[in-house]
Structure formats: C-alpha cells, structure tokens
Amino acid sequence: MDRVDVSIIIPVYNVEEFLPKCLDSVINQTIDNKEIIVINDGSTDNCYEIIKEYKKKFPELVIINQKNSGISETRNAGLKAARGEYIAFVDSDDFVELDMFEKMYKIATNGNIDIVICNYILYKEGQGVQDSNYKKIEGIDKEGFLDKGEALKMFLLNDIKGYVWNKLHKRKLFFDNKISFPDFVVCEDTPVGFLLLANANKIYSMIEPLYYYRQRELSLTRTFSIKSMKDMIYGCYIMRDFITKNPLIYGELIDYYRVYLIKTLWAIHNKYFIQSSETGDKKYYSEFKDIVSKEVDNLQISEIIRNSKLTFKDKVNILLIKTKTYGLIFPLLYKIKNVMK
C-alpha cells in the first residue's frame, strides 16, 4: 500500500456553483503523497455529476456516494476511509492555497506536531477574494508552538475557532481517543476541535493564511432551530464533561468554560430573537425557554460581575438574559436597527 501523508476529506452537499473551484484547489496541491476523499451526501443538484467528471480526469480521487446523512456522518465516513498520517478537511464551498498542505505537513513532520493551525481569509458570497475593501484575514496572531493549556484557554475564549478546516490533525488523535463528529446540525466541529486540542501533545500556530472561507448568507429560518439550540448546549456539555473528569486541568479551565457557556447562551438568545423578529413566529418559545433556563438559572449574578474574563458587553448581555429582560429589549433594538438601514 502506497504511503499517504495527508488525507483531505471534502464533504459535498448541494454546492454545484462552488464545487469545481474547491476541487481544483485540492487536486492541484503541491504535496505529493496526498489522498483526496470526496463524499457526496445525497446532493439533489449536479454535484454528483461534477464529481464523476472529475473522477474521469483524476482516477486517484476516492469517491463515496451516500444518502443524505448530514455533515457529521459525512465527515465520519471520510475519517473511516482515510489512510493518511495526517487528516485535513475542506468544505466544498471553500478553497485553499495550492501549497497549503505541503507547508503544514512540513511543519508537522519537522517537529512531530499533532496539530498545525493556519490563519484563513474570510469573504462573503459574490465577493472576489482580491477585493481589498472586503478581504479579511482571521486567526491567531502568533507563529510558533502553543502550550496545550494556553491553546485550550484560547479555544474557550473563541480566539482559536472550533473549525476543523484550518487545521492539520495527526490521524491517531481521532482513532486513539475515539473522537468522532456528534450528530449535530450546527457547531458539530466545536467539541471535536476541543477534544483534539486536549489530547494533543504538540500544537503549532502559523500566521500565514492558507484557507479561503466563503461566508454565505443563509436564512436564519433555515439554519436555526430547536435542534440547533440543543446542539449548541450539548457541545458545551461535551467540553464540560472532559474538563470535569480531568482534575489536572479542572482548576485551570473551569472559569474559561463558564465564559464559553455564557457566550453560547447569549448566541442562542440572540439568534432565536432575530428569527422571531424576522418571522413573527413565537410558537417555539416554551421549548426555547426550557433549553436555556436551567443553565441561566445556575448563573450567579455576583460571579458574572466579578469574572474578569468577560467583557463589559458580555456582562450586560448575560445580565439581560439572567433578569429575563433580553426578550423585552431585543425587539425594540431590532426595529430601531432596521429603521436606520
């Protein structure tokens, strides 16, 4: 069996407009010993036809065609098929620099590193990546090794994003620690990203942006639901349980976890009330309250105020939620914002 240095996993679902650019950027990677695994997750557009045409030109592509199962099961299917020493993910509406995986793999192997993180370029649908008025580099402003404790704190403060696509992971991290993607509709990579960092021995951060992340505008009514609210909370629980079961890191990380939980609760409230204001639909309000009320009730106002890791804005937002005034104030602010547009 030929050696595979990097397995690149590409989940595909209904992205025919963007798929060729993505595939071209991955197929033409400068790294030699790569494996490209493309999983069609029951696309209803022309994605599978596009993939089959690429397979004719590039027989080395590994193609998996499955019924629609969601992003988590699709990535898990890619993991099961992967043979590489390292694992990479590319979303099928994004694309990458042609030397991305060569550069990341060289750093990884030179230092026997478990996870290499690169910066990325954020842009919106319809915007050219050369548009200097929009092009935005995001990531970590540090080149070099990251202490694991430091990396986990940065993750919980959202300085290291939970995305798996701007990272190169040693394959054994997934399999030795039985890490797979949970059955979530949103934020499925967040607990996975945390667990991979928590089990890594060496982590390296690159300043160079190598990944192009296309931020598409999707309607909140399509992307936010009761299931997505539960997923965001359950993702927090996965991280909480790991921290709680590891006494050596509990004292160091538990306060940072609380910051992450508070910001997650704010995000759930904010997205729910945006959706309610857009649609006028409040039929899920009781379910929404049940999902978040337990965590909100457990928050102590004194601890929120004293928490130096929370910004003033974070404190105001969570106090509005804690005192149950967020739902009263938000619709007014939403109307004012729309009037000023």
Tell me the one-letter amino acid at 24.
D
The residue-averaged pLDDT of 225-230 equals 90
In whole angstroms, what is the distance from residue 119 CA to residue 213 CA? 10
Residue 220: pLDDT above 50? no
Residues 96-122: what's their mean pLDDT? 97
pLDDT for 77 beyond 50 = yes
Going by the DSSP 8-state scheme, the letter that residue 98 receives in this structure is: T
Statement: residue 334 has pLDDT above 80? no
- The domain spans of the chain are 6-215, 221-339
Query: How is residue 180 written in tokens?
Result: 């797979």
Q: Homologous superfamily of 6-215 in CATH?
A: Spore Coat Polysaccharide Biosynthesis Protein SpsA; Chain A (3.90.550.10)
Share of the chain above pLDDT 90, in %: 67
User: Residue 44 gets which letter from DSSP?
Assistant: S
Is the pLDDT reported for residue 209 higher than 50?
yes
Can you give the pLDDT at residue 132?
46
> Is 131 a residue whose pLDDT tops 60?
no
Tokens 């026997």 -> residue: 112
pLDDT at residue 222 above 70?
no
Tokens of 151: 């990396």
Question: Using CA atoms, how far apart are residues 153 and 149, in angstroms rounded to an integer?
Answer: 6
Find the mean pLDDT for residues 315-326. 88
Q: Residue 126 — left, alpha, or beta (φ > 0 → left; ψ -120 to 50 → alpha)?
A: left
Mean pLDDT of 150-158: 96
CA-to-CA separations, 38 to 46, 60, 211, 269, in angstroms, rounded = 14, 11, 18, 36
Q: What is the pLDDT of residues 5-49, one digit of tens each?
A: 999 999 999 999 999 999 999 999 999 999 999 999 999 999 999
Which pLDDT score, from 0 to 100, does residue 217 have? 62
pLDDT tens-place string over residues 161-204: 999 999 999 999 999 999 999 999 889 999 999 999 999 999 99
- pTM of the prediction? 0.91
Please provide the average confidence, as pLDDT, over all residues in the chain: 90
Residue with tokens 């959202």: 158
The residue among 272 and 207 whose pLDDT is bigger is 207
